[in-house]
Each structure stands twice: as C-alpha cells, then as structure tokens.
Chain A
Amino acid sequence: VTSFAQCRVAADGFDIRYAEAGEGAALVCFHGAGGLRVSPGHELLAARRRVIAFQAPGFGDSPVNDRTATMPELAATMLAAVDALGIDGFDLWGTSFGGRLALWTAIAAPERVRALVLVSPAAIILRPRPQATPELLYAHPERRPAGAPPRPEVQAQQANLVARLMEPHRDPRLEAAMRELAVPTLVLFGTEDRITPPELGRRYVELLPNGHLMLVYDAAHAIDGDRPEAFAAIAEDFLERHEQFVVRRESGVLYP
C-alpha cells in the first residue's frame, strides 16, 4: 500500500490540506461531497504518478468556508493551489461534486489540463439526490476504505457548502462551456449507482467533444472503492493514451 503524506499549501487566502504520494506526471484529484478520503484507487494510481488529492476549503477539518460563492470561484482557488505547488500541466480526476469542480477547472485552464477523468460526476443533476449512505455509495460496502465518517457538525458544514456550490442543478453556462471543452475526458458511471444513475452518462458524451463514457459493472457511486483495480487500469490507460485508449495495443498472437 502506497502511503500518502499529509501536507498543506497556502493559496488564494486559504490554508489547503492535501494528501500526496507517488512520482511522475501530476494527477490532481478532487473529492466528492463527503470530503477527502484516500481510496484504493488513489493508491493504485500513485504507483506510476504523482497523485495530489486536495481537500477543498470548507471540508473536513478546515475552517468554515463562507467565502466561496460559486463553483468557478472554487475552481480558481484550486488552480491557485496547483500553482502554489509549482505545477504547470496536470491530469485531473474529479469524483461526483469534485467532477463538477474538475469540469469548471478544466474550462478555466484548458491548456493546462492534459486529460480529465470524471467519476460519477454531478455536473448534470436531473432529480434531487438521495442522502449518500454507505449502502448507496458502495455496491460492496465491505470495500469502504477504513476511517470514521466526518463528525456530524462537519457533515452539516460540508452539506451547506455543497448545496450552495451545486446551484443551479442544471447550469446552462456549464453545459455551454462543456460543448467547447476539447480536453480528452473519460466519464465513468457505475451500473449500480443510484445517486448519479448511469443513464446520465450519455448526456456528458453528448456535450463533450472529446468525451468517452465507460460504464463500470457492479460498481455504485464510489467506483474507485468498489472496483479499484478496474478503475485504476482504465484511468491509467486513458491518462496515458487519451482517445487512443479505444484501440487495443496488445498483440492478439498467443504464441509466436
């Protein structure tokens, strides 16, 4: 198991916590509405990359964030944090709430984001989302990474921030910008996901000019927890080869 170092960086007036492991090309990660939790997916990807998993201001143990009013503002803050680490070009992975943040980040700096991986993104919300219980997050709750959930007051504080930043649920500005976003984007939905159902996936590839939908079988919302090996393999291949990932490169010859 790769061990993640717990670090902090000052950016845009915030003191931002992040977990980091691995060496190589930078992969910046944005967490979902529940906050930062290092998953087996992070650990597998850190074997070949420098994985930097940020905690957005206002989540977890950070002070209440009353300042950030919109997702584009939060994206600007996160880009400032990437700058503060001295990173120019980077790959970007966002989960759920973090998928929406990742899209706004790529829209703000398309020349810096080499490729985008969206896991169960919450950028297009058609119906009110159910409360994210472990049973809804995981098709296999026994695979949930260890660690207690945030304290109730932290959860309430995060929920406030998320509710504010996720408005409007359908954002015409975001969807218009997605139509213009040329960054290669892998969109993953779990076949058992009842928070962001897999039928939403088609809407992303209808909008994104270089978007590619993969349905992850037997995974719910937390894909990288339910199917970490499959998630890491497809993410790794996509980050390396972008749209070329649709083409098999292994030879089909069994014996020469």
Chain B
Amino acid sequence: MLDTLTGGRVVAGMLRGTSNEYVTYGVNPAESRERFVEALRLIVRAWTEPQPFGWLGRHYEYRTVSIWPRPVQDPHPPIVMSISSPEMAEFAAANRIGAGLAVTTVPRAADALRVYRAAAAAHGWEPAPDDVLYRAAVHVADTDAHAWTECAPFATPDRPVGALSMANPAIDDAVAGAGYYGRERAQQRARVASAGDLRERIDTGQLLAGAPQTVLGQVADIRRTLGAGVLELAFIAPSPDSRRRAIELFGEHVLPRMAEL
C-alpha cells in the first residue's frame, strides 16, 4: 500500500529483531535467524506472486496469501537488512540485499562491511553506495558547545544513544544463553550494549552532534570510511523547539552539501 501511495519509492528494511523482542513474543531466540530467512522469502513471494497461494514453511504456515494492492515496483521494492553479524552479512551479500548498519559504531560497521563486501565479491557483484545504509542519532545547534550541552542528558550511562538497553540485564544473559547471538557472540553483545560517554559516542559515530560544519565532517567521515550512500538519522533534542532548530540547521547547511561528498 505504501509503495502504491508513494509511486514506488518504498525501500523495505528487514530486521531480525532484538533479543528482548524474542522474549516478549515467546519465540525461541535460537531459531531467530531461520525464522527471519523464511519470513523474508515469504514476504518477497507475497509481493511477487500474482495468484493467491499458500505457504507451508518450517515456522510459518498460511493457507491463502494474497496481498492487495501489490507493490508498484517491479519485481518488488528494494530490501535493506541488518548486516551487523557476519552470518547476516554473508546472507545479505549472497542474496544481493542492501546492507543496513544500526545500533553500532563506525569502526564496528567497517568490520561488518568488510565481511559483506568480500561475500558480495564471492557472489560476483559489488555493492554500490546506495546499497549501504548507516543509522545514527543526530543533533545540530549553532555551536559545537551548545549542541554537546543539549545532547549530554541523552548520553548518560542509563540512556544509551542508539544502543539497546534491557531493564534487566539477566534477560539478555538468558537470551544469549539460548543461542540468539551467533558465532561472534561476545562482539555482538558488546555492540548492542555499547554506549560510552558523550565524547566517545561522537568519536565513534554513534552520535552526530555539533555545529553544521562539525556534523558535515562526521557525515563525510561515514561516507569515506564506510562508503555508505544512505544515512538514516534520528533527531534527538531536549525540546521540540531545539529539535526543530536542529532539523532546520541540518536542512540548510548540511544536507545541501552532502551531495558533494
């Protein structure tokens, strides 16, 4: 429906989901990857199949599937999926799916992209900048000092910017023990728990914050280091007015110059 309303501009982001979600929905975390892969196959089939069909999966079973209206993009909207774990980076590359990097840092994203690009090369293709999306939090103010002061409340240890927190850390232990994290278990747990102080978050690209020129420099660094052609930004600010100001500054002074990067 959204693809129809937008005249075919939907890019579909597909995520396995975070460990806490598997707890909430009562799904065995050890089966999360194979559920994700099956669900992705089913969704693409639903987008592309012109006749009603049933699906006899391992994790999903539907006797009749017929979505209406179909997407206008042919064969279907492009897909971006999280590639932070090596398993999913290899899967995305094998299936020519765009790379999404969120709840991460620029150095960790660079590691994940090395796996992704190597696997893509092994499958005979080379991801373009538009195939790489990086997500971060952002705040823009008139000066660096002003922006950083306004961001400070969002970067206390109990407010991880862009990171995931679980009220009860024992739950993440339980999910990890069930096999949610794959072959890089320690690194992946560190990734989603990562936060650091304000300076560290800015330095590692979890948070883009400062005057427009500073933020533009951070964007340029992401473009250069990661080869990312798509930025997904969450504007954080202490008040609606300061958020509006941040969006204006970004729109007037950062966005127009991003095309030059």
Interface residue ranges, A against B (CB under 8 Å): 188, 191, 201-202, 205-206, 212-218, 227, 230-231, 234, 245-248
Contact = CB atoms under 8 A, between A and B. Distances in A.
Interface of B: 38, 41-42, 45, 49-58, 60, 63-64
**Which are the 3 A-B pairs with shortest beta-carbon distances?**
A214-B54, A202-B51, A217-B57
A204 to B, nearest CB: 9
Given A215-B45, A245-B63, A246-B64, A201 B53 contact: yes
A227 B52 contact: no
A217 B52 contact: no
Given A214-B53, A217-B56, 12 more contacts: A202-B49, A212-B63, A214-B54, A215-B45, A215-B54, A216-B56, A217-B41, A217-B42, A217-B58, A230-B56, A246-B63, A247-B63
A241 to B, nearest CB: 11
Contacts, number: 54
Contacts of B60: 217
B94 to A, nearest CB: 14
A205 B66 CA distance: 13
B55 A214 contact: yes
Contacts of B52: 205, 213
A248 B50 CA distance: 24
A37 B135 CA distance: 54
A174 to B, nearest CB: 19
Nearest to B53: A213
B91 to A, nearest CB: 15
A230 B179 CA distance: 26
Contacts of B45: 191, 215
B21 to A, nearest CB: 20
B185 to A, nearest CB: 26
Contacts of A234: 54, 56
Contacts of B53: 201-202, 205, 213-215
Nearest to A214: B54
Contacts of A201: 51, 53
A190 to B, nearest CB: 10
Contacts of A215: 45, 53-56
10 contacts: A201-B53, A202-B53, A205-B51, A213-B51, A214-B54, A217-B56, A218-B57, A231-B56, A245-B63, A248-B63
B37 to A, nearest CB: 9
Contacts of A191: 41, 45
A102 B45 CA distance: 28
A3 B78 CA distance: 50
Contacts of A231: 56
Contacts of B55: 214-215, 217
Given A215-B55, A216-B56, A218-B58, A202 B50 contact: yes
A175 to B, nearest CB: 16
B95 to A, nearest CB: 14
A216 B60 CA distance: 11
Contact of A212 (B41, B54, B58): B54
B68 to A, nearest CB: 16
A246 B62 CA distance: 8
Nearest to A237: B63
B257 to A, nearest CB: 46
In this complex, the member of A212, A231, A248 whose beta carbon has the largest number of chain B beta carbons within 10 angstroms is: A212
Contacts of A206: 51
Nearest to A219: B56
Contacts of A205: 51-53
A247 B54 CA distance: 12
Contacts of B63: 212, 214, 245-248
A132 B64 CA distance: 30
A188 B64 CA distance: 13
Q: Which of B38, B42, B52, B63 has the most CB of A within 10 A?
A: B63
Nearest to B49: A202
* Residue from B38, B56, B63, B64 whose CB has the most chain A CB atoms within 10 Å: B56
A83 B76 CA distance: 50
A202 B45 CA distance: 12
A13 B80 CA distance: 62
Nearest to B63: A246
